[in-house]
Amino acid sequence: MKILVCVSGASYCELGLELIKFLAAADHEIFAVISEGAKLVLRAESGIDADEILKSAEFRSVKFYPDTDLSAPPASGSFGIDATIFAPCSIGSLAKIYGGLCDGLSTRAAAVALKERKTLILGVREMPLSAISLRQMSELAALGVIIAPPVIAKYCRPASAEDLQRFVIGKWADLLGVKNELYQRWKI
């Protein structure tokens, strides 16, 4: 499966990096776009230099593209991306996707997913949500977009912040159709 992961500049961009690592290890063709906003957030929140960390062995099989490269393969439906996920999805990216604004590779890839009727998942990361954002998410959901905010659950029996992170990544992997045992599933 060809999966595109777009990491936009919302808080907790580390979730996107961890999702990319997991998917790369799960033997799929993984492509990724890390926005400049995401790079700023990673540095501010976690002291992570995205350009350096992406050179590590964990990311070796992933093809990264700059968000400014509108000629990159994921900008075309003929490239054949099966699923696109914004992990996390900023409110700015949500608004651009909703409005059809394709000013970067990530938002162009979202437009491609919509026109090709491919899986598009938006991990919207914001709280509280405005009426405008709720309307945008509702209308996108009516078009088939999966709205999957990184919301935690207690049934996974988390013992650490990493367990909660694995839960979110596992739920996103489920939506992508990627088998995983990242979290304890619901059982009574």
User: 146-167, pLDDT tens digit by residue?
Assistant: 999 999 999 999 999 999 999 9
pLDDT digits (tens, 9 = 90+) for 51-85: 999 899 999 999 999 999 999 999 999 999 999 99
The pLDDT of 174-184, averaged and rounded, is 96
What predicted TM-score, i.e. pTM, was given to this entire model? 0.96
Token representation of residue 141: 């959901």
Which tens digit of pLDDT belongs to each residue from 116-127?
999 999 999 999
pLDDT band at 188, cuts 50/70/90?
A: confident
Looking at the predicted structure, is the pLDDT value of residue 20 above 90? yes
